Structure 1
C-alpha cells in the first residue's frame, strides 16, 4: 500500500537514474525508462541499467524476449508485463487501491484517479484546436471535435443510423430491444439501461450534479449543461448543411432542418397524418376533437 499513499500525497518516490524525473509509481518509472533507449524494456546486459526490484527484472526479461509469461490464475489471461497483470487482478478482487482524498471514491488505476480529481478543480488541459474550448478529459475532447464535422462513424447494424459517439450508439441499440431490466425503486418505472435509470432517479432527488463554471447554475444532465453553456458564448457549432444557418443547440438545428425536407416525425395516432412540428400535431388533434363533438 506504499504506492497508494504516494499517489494520494503527490509524492514522487521513484526517480529515474538517467534524467532524475520523479514518479509516484514504480510501474510509471519502468515505462519512462523506455524513452531513454527507444525500445521495449531491455535485458540489463543490453541496456546497462538494472531494474529496481526482482519483479521488474522478470518484466524486463519477458518484455525483451516478446514472450507473454504472466498468467492470471483466475481467468487465464496472459500478460507480457507484471504491472499489467497486477492491474488486471483488481477486476477479480474488487480492490480499488487509489482513493480520492476529496470524496473517497476508489479506482483501480492511478491514471483514472488523476482524471477523476479534475472534477474537484477547474483544470481543463485538453483544448479544441478549432474553437479553443477546453475539456477535463481527452475522451470529451474527441467527442466534442465531431461537432465541427458531419462525421458519424458509429453505425447501428440493425437500422443503419449513424452516431457521433459509441455511447450514443449503445443507447440507441436499446430501442431495438423490448427488455427493461432496470427498475426505479421509487416509482417502479422500468428502463432499458442503467444510464436512463440514473437520469430518471434525479426526478425523485432533484440532484443536479453538473454545475456551470460561469454562473454556477446546476443541471441534472451533462447535455443540459453543455446546451446552457452556449448562452455564455456566441458559439454556434451546429450548422445546417442545406442553407448554412448556424445554431447553438443540436435540437434547434434538427427542428430547422425539417423546413428543408418532407420529414414529419409527429404522427397522429387516429389518422396517421404526419407533421413536421409538435404544435402542428396538437392543432390537428384539437380540430379532430371539435369535429367529433359536433357529430
Structure 2
C-alpha cells in the first residue's frame, strides 16, 4: 500500500479523529500533537490487515489521547486558578445541525467531563457521542468488554446527574442578546448589562496565573457586571476591539487590544446570559487563529 493511501484515509477521517481527541483532552494544541503522533504510527501500518479504518484509527488516537491526558494530570493539579478547556474556534453553525455533537463540544460539557477519570471520559465519549461498539472501545482503552460496560454505565450516570439540560437557543434570540451585550459593553451601559444577566449568572476565568483574572468563579449579576466593567474598561471606548465568533458551538467574543486579551464564551438560557467562560491564559489562545472542522 502506498503512503498516499495512508494519507488519504487519515485525511478523510481527520475531523472525526480530531473531535474524539479534543473531547478527551479539552485541548486543541494537544489534540494536534496527538494526531501528528498517531499519523506517524498509522503510516507504518500494513493496510491489508485493516478491516475497518474508522474503528482502527479511533482506537489508535484514543490510546494516544489517554497517554497525553495522564501525562498532563500533574500539570492540571498544579494549575493556578480555574482550569478551562481551550476554546475551539468553529465556522459559524458548524455543529448546529447535529444537536448531540453541539452539546458534546460545549464548554459546559467539557468542564463536566473533567470530573471523570481518564478511562471514564474516553469510554463516555466513544460510546455516548460517537456510538462505537463496546469491543472497539475495549481495544482502545485496554480493558475487557465487561469492564468497559461497567465504566460506561458509571460515567453515564455521573454525567446525567450533573449535566444541565442542553437547549440550543434559536439564532434570532442569540443574535439579539449578543448584539445588546456588545453594545452595552462598548458604551458602558451598566443597567443594560444587568438586564441581560441572569440573577445567578456565573463568570469562570482561566488565566493560569499569567494575566489578571479572578481565580475563583464569580456568581451573581451585580458581581459579574462589576467584572465586566473592569475587563472591558467601559469608560474608555476604542481601547479594545470586540469580535463575535463561534467557539464550541457557543456565541463567543474575541477581545483584542494591543494583543489578544481573551476569548469569552457566553451561554444563554431563558432569554438571559447564564454563564461566561473567560479564557485568558495566552497559551490557550494560540489555536484561535483558524477555525477547525469537527464531525462524528
TM band (smaller chain): under 0.3
**TM-score of the two chains, using structure 2 as the length reference:** 0.22
More contact order relative to length (CA 8 Å, sep ≥ 6): 2
Q: What is the TM-score of this pair, normalised by structure 1?
A: 0.22
Query: Larger Rg: 1 or 2?
Result: 1
- More helix per residue: 2
